[in-house]
Chains A and B, each alone.
Chain A
Amino acid sequence: MQKWADNRAWFLILPVFLVVAFSAIIPLMTVVNYSVQDILGPGMSVFVGSEWYKEVLHNPRLHDALFRQLTFSFCVLAIEIPLGVGVALTLPRKKGVWASTCLVLLALPLLIPWNVVGTIWVMFSRPDIGLAGVTLNEIFHFPYNYTADPLHSWLTVLVMDVWHWTPLIVLLGYAGLQAIPEAYYQAAKIDGASRFAVFRYIQLPKMRGVLLIALLLRFMDSFMIYTEPFVLTGGGPGNSTTFLSQFLTRLAVGQFDVGPAAAFSLIYFLIVLLFCFVFYTTIVNLGKGEAQ
């Protein structure tokens, strides 16, 4: 669509700018301020330049947390996107009570407060009172204990995230599938296209746009995951489920190391920004390609 060129449109944007600036720029500037100072007490601070950045960048525990975070985000995307697409394909194509019920059930985990998601999984997987925990231990005689074994703990967090967020991919994929006209399927049928060919040449290209949005949203959210592992495992045992947000919160609120925490915040933000810029540019350019 051809847009009108008019700089007065800034007046329409102004309220948003003010609100977001109030809750984003002022705090962000505070972070920048903290990150270059050593705050010894109220009203006592020393300018230290890039010292905190150097310290944080050389912190091996940060490297571990970053590596853990990247592995986690990668696993989340690798499981959730194919699974979500798969489930979206099994949803009934025609609208009706059954389709609506499925959608409502699917969306349910998305609207549960994040710490309640953690609580649900604590109750579900505890080896003494949880359904999954007891079943694995008593019936399959598998010594499952997510509070003691780092691997079990990590996998529990992963399964929880899959449970929590796959529905988002399903809903996005379903929205993409709904936009395909029935005529496409009929044409494919006449051509005698196989089920796979229909998926590969009709459904997948139509879902590409929404799947990119899904990728962007999922990457963003998995990269700042905090509440669910905090409630489920508290970052442990050891540091096995300490992801970046958890690490940062511990640094800032737990130990009150404001300077390093601020420096780390900015690095963290820049990492997220970099990835998101790539995804965002891809989405925008893709939209342009389709319009032409």
Chain B
Amino acid sequence: MRMKKRTVALLCYLIFLLLPIYWLVNMSFKTTDEILSVFNLLPENFTWANYAMIFTDPSWYTGYINSMKYVALNTIISLTVALPAAYGFSRYNFLGDKHMFFWLLTNKMAPPAVFLLPFFNFYQTVGLFDTSIAVALAHCLFNVPLAVWILEGFMSGVPKEIDETAFIDGYSFPRFFTTIFIPLIRAGIGVTAFFCFMFSWVELLLARTLTAVNAKPIAATMTRTVSASGMDWGGLAAAGVLTMIPGAIVIWFVRNYMAKGFALGRV
């Protein structure tokens, strides 16, 4: 009986979770006229027109491509710089290590709004404004510290004796790192990539500020539709559904490691 009560509670929560998403999906299959005129739980005139509109209009679908570009770039940069650093933090004591680690974390804590204006001026000065690389670098601000933190957690779970044995066997550091150590923390790297993807994908404030036309992300395209015409509810819903799909695919791949990753490798 107790098991049943637990399952009912869980189902209630899941319904609360899925109701808004269901409504979004429902709307994306309706025409805007139908949304505004009748209230119904399932579309009366089922239509793919909203999705067709997004896939044929370049101002919509380039948004997805731009978002993907900077998310991928950011994930690669974050992982490349975070891997050696996390190894350093997990294996060595050195001058100022604890302060350095906390300083890194403070960047994760900094409200992006604080950096808004200087970023805008700075990237314009160095000529990177409105490029994918600008957004990718700006997102490093919070993704690199997070990547270091998660990877450090996973690396600390690998016994140090492995490193020692490898060095005695005559492995050089780069060779040990790439052929032995990285395969050992594969799961950790996957989870870290997932987190970099996630936080870069969901962020809007910096991405919107640092782009104008050429690198405009999908999220910004959506806010501009809200403010300008504001009434294409069907198209907006379809765009919203499409932004959820990459995330859902990525979750499916990391589902077994996700919980551990959210605990930052510290369970």
Contacts and interface: CB of A to CB of B under 8 A. Distances in A.
A and B co-occur in one complex: yes
B35 A129 contact: yes
Interface string B200-220: 011111000000000000110
Contacts of B59: none
A34 B21 CA distance: 43
A3 B100 CA distance: 16
Contact of B248 (A18, A104, A245, A273): A104
A10 interface: yes
Contact of B23 (A87, A131, A261): A131
Interface in B35-84: 35-36, 39, 77, 80-82, 84
A119 interface: yes
B16 A163 contact: yes
A131 B246 CA distance: 26
Contacts of B251: 104, 107-108, 111
Contacts, number: 289
Contacts of A131: 19-20, 23
B174 to A, nearest CB: 12
Contacts of A277: 102
Interface stretch (A74-82, A141-149, A182-190, A220-228): A220-228
A172 B243 contact: no
Give chain B's interface secondary structure class.
helix
B129 to A, nearest CB: 14
Interface string A166-201: 011001101110110000000000000001000000
Interface string A265-284: 11011001100110010000
Nearest to A91: B10
A113 B240 CA distance: 9
Nearest to B218: A113
B180 interface: no
A32 to B, nearest CB: 10
Interface of B: 2, 6-7, 9-10, 13-14, 16-21, 23-24, 27, 35-36, 39, 77, 80-82, 84-85, 87-95, 97, 100, 102, 104-119, 121-122, 137-138, 140-141, 144-145, 148, 156, 160, 198, 201-205, 218-219, 222-223, 226, 233, 236-237, 240, 243-244, 246-248, 250-252, 255-256, 258-260, 262-264, 266-267
Contacts of A100: 255-256
A178 B266 CA distance: 12
Contact of B113 (A17, A91, A128, A226): A226
Interface in A84-139: 86-87, 89-91, 95, 100, 102-116, 119-124, 128-132, 134, 138
B21 A102 contact: no
B137 A22 contact: yes
A244 to B, nearest CB: 7
Contacts of A103: 255, 258-259
A252 B90 CA distance: 40
B95 A105 contact: no
Contacts of B107: 20, 24
Contacts of A91: 10
A19 B77 contact: yes
A36 interface: no
A2 B161 CA distance: 11
A19 B23 contact: no
A97 to B, nearest CB: 11
A189 B39 CA distance: 52
B204 A115 contact: yes
A121 to B, nearest CB: 6
B87 to A, nearest CB: 6
Which of B7, B14, B92, B95 is packed against the most chain A CB atoms within 10 Å? B92
B114 A120 contact: no
Nearest to A16: B85
A276 B101 CA distance: 13
Contacts of B258: 103, 107, 171
Given A19-B140, A272-B109, A34 B117 contact: yes
A277 B35 CA distance: 48
A113 B104 CA distance: 24
A3 B91 contact: yes
- List 9 A-B pairs, minimum CB-CB distance, nearest first: A111-B247, A12-B88, A27-B118, A9-B92, A224-B111, A175-B259, A30-B118, A16-B85, A175-B263
Contact of B21 (A20, A30, A120): A120
B17 A19 contact: no
A242 B172 CA distance: 56
A44 interface: no
Contacts of A40: none
A259 B187 CA distance: 46
Contacts of B140: 19-20, 23
A111 to B, nearest CB: 3
Given A5-B92, A268-B111, A15 B81 contact: yes
Contact of A13 (B85, B204, B247): B85
